[in-house]
Amino acid sequence: MGILRGPWGNWLAAVLLALSCGTVGATDFGRQSYLLHCAGCHLPDGGGSKVNDVPSLHDIPGHFASIPEGRAFLTQVPGIAYSPLNNDEVAEVLNWVLLNFSQNTLGTAFQPFTPAEVARLRAERPADIFKVRSAVLAVLAAKGIRLNY
Structural domains of the chain, with CATH: 30-142 (1.10.760.10)
pTM, full prediction: 0.78
Q: Is residue 149 predicted with pLDDT exceeding 80?
A: no
Cα distances (Å, whole numbers) of residue 56 to 45, 73, 90: 9, 15, 19
Three-state secondary-structure class, residue 54: strand
What does the alpha-carbon distance between residue 72 and residue 78 come to, in Å, rounded to a whole number?
A: 12
What does the alpha-carbon distance between residue 70 and residue 123 come to, in Å, rounded to a whole number?
A: 15
Which distant-in-sequence residues (6+ apart) come within 8 Å of 125 by Cβ?
Answer: 76, 81
What does the alpha-carbon distance between residue 122 and residue 50 come to, in Å, rounded to a whole number?
A: 25
Give per-residue pLDDT as tens, 107-124: 888 999 999 999 999 999
Q: Is residue 78 predicted with pLDDT exceeding 80?
A: yes
